[in-house]
Structure 1
Amino acid sequence: MLSWQSVIRCFGGIRFRPLVMVVLCLSAVVQAEEPADTEPRTAEQWLERLGPALNMTSYRGVFVYARGDQVSSLQIAHRYRDGMVEERLVLQDGGSGEIVRKGMRVVCVLPDQGRVQLDQVIPSGPFAEAFSSQLMPVIRWYTPELIGEDRVAGYDVVKIGLKARDEHRYSHRLWLEKSSGLLVKSHVRSTRDDVLEHFQFTSLEITDDIRDAELEVQTRGQEIERDLSKESVTSPAPRMDGWVLRWQPDGFIAAAAPRSGKGQAVAFSDGLAAFSVFVEPAGRISMPTGASRIGATTVYINQLQAGDQPFMVTVVGEVPPATAKRVAESVEIDDALAFETAER
């Protein structure tokens, strides 16, 4: 399933300068074994089932995503057949638009007012599946706990807690459908246990009877198409050109290199949460420094000098403001000419 954060951003999420527009409209398929027939007994065993269930469970439904005072609702049809994931998401309120994915091919149909670039890729949330196999185990940075059982959208679920082991990341709670392991509800929680972001299915039908017509583009509008299979071969390894990062939280490693106009950018993930660092020459219009937050997403802007050249550093991601601030203030420019070369 595509990240719900990515869907909200694709259809018009936070609006910042183009460099800081964070978008994730696609995720790769996880190659995993079929879930076992026996019901898991521990939180760790349930988490092992989560990855395959995200892709390999077929279902249709409607879910809501709340971040701060912003609430959005989307309809989804998801099918796993013959080893391929197919999915269609349709915005239910606000404007129009949809995302259709068939295997490694993704099409975004945008509303008239929508603005999105599919090459700004940042993994986020429990659906950062393309990166989870490359990273250290999530339980090294979060303490898993089996909290109990519940019901969501008419299905019996098990409730899992992931408590952050340090102050540099948020804790999570996940509700997994018991027969499949499908994620049907989740919370991102602050250090004070406040709910910062909330995802939940309001209606859900887990079924293999998903028709072809449910997975076809039906909205008129600007289409942006992408073939992920080509990118997996040609995408360069993430790197920092002209700048260095002197500090990052334990467990967060470079996972992607989103394009950033005239600047440089690198995304970091611990397998569950993610943040990105954007570095660019400062323009004529001075941006206010400091932090802002919507839900669990923090934006921290810092300005620094490299000789006579001013630069702007922006950190965006699902980390606490104090973490974003420390990351931003640890950036150093070691080659200002690298940015001039990138502009040519």
Structure 2
Amino acid sequence: MQPNSRKKTDLLLMVALMPPTLIALNYFMLGEVYFSSFKNFGIASAVSLSVLLGVWIAQGMLAKKMLQLFPSHRDTVKRVVIFYSLNLTIVALTVTLICWIFDLFNILGFRFTMDAWTRSLIAGGICTIVNQAVYETEISFGRIRASQLEAEQLKKAQLQTQFDSLKEQVNPHFLFNSLNSLSSLITTDPYKAEEFVVEMSRVYRYLLRSNEEQLTTLQKELEFIESYNLLLKTRFASGFQPVIAVEEKMKEYLLPPMTLQLLIENAVKHNIVDPDAPLIVRLYTENGKLIVTNNLQKKNKAVVSNKIGLSNIIQKYKLLNCTDVEIKETANEFSVTLPLIKNTN
């Protein structure tokens, strides 16, 4: 939730919860005399409100600190227990202070007795529990709303990825080159032509289904990339040389679908791919991350690019609350380091 929205919500909660808290505390402390006249009601409410406002602000700061220390929903129980304990302590001190003020200035004839203090303490404790429950409910609903918004944004990003990739793969150049390669294979190597068609169908099938999941396993991505790489190797022969060295234990980790295809496509698009100057694309895992690199041999003629592929990948990882994608370029190499997400299933 945005800071301004959070402040607005806190203000609305204070407006809604402060009056009943104030009335309950004064009634339990003073009894019927509190409602005996508008004057009594006004005096008692004004005195108590002057103290409660300060306490409410302090509790709000404490609540904010608790959310910073325990931001995850998995820490809710721990946060609530600690917050309740601290809150009840603050309430006990506040009730004691209010009772002392009323007794010191002889407001409405109040006397600080154990009975009056106990009643006030019970009222303050009940109000605190109720207010805290309302606050926690609002926090939970806020997280649900935020999660739904992030899910929608992630789905939108995935659809954009799918559209961009399909647009790239279905463009006349790609189809012409693929069909030209297929035509040559039919004449020279019918068996390989059949394999080419199978791999091509797998590529398109994966592209069409990629928006159905927010995350996929690295194993599935690598299987897809094998098909995609075969098309590129058929087209460029030894000019395209993929090298895959992924640890077996990392293959069950997760990442957004089509991430690898976008990176390989980006490398092919911006670099010379020729048997005399092969483009070497390496995919490997290191320290729980996936690294994709390629040697830099940029085309003489600059390629028009809106950099949708890289920005789309970065946006997806941000929506997934993962560590930043690292992009580095040296004189000889371009690399992208991707966080891999542990598969909790």
Tell me if both proteins adopt one fold, taking TM over 0.5 as the criterion: no
Counting strand residues as a fraction of each chain, which structure ranks higher?
1
TM-score after normalising by structure 1: 0.20
With a CA cutoff of 8 Å and minimum separation of 6, indicate the structure with the bigger relative contact order. Answer: 1
Counting helix residues as a fraction of each chain, which structure ranks higher?
2
Larger Rg: 2
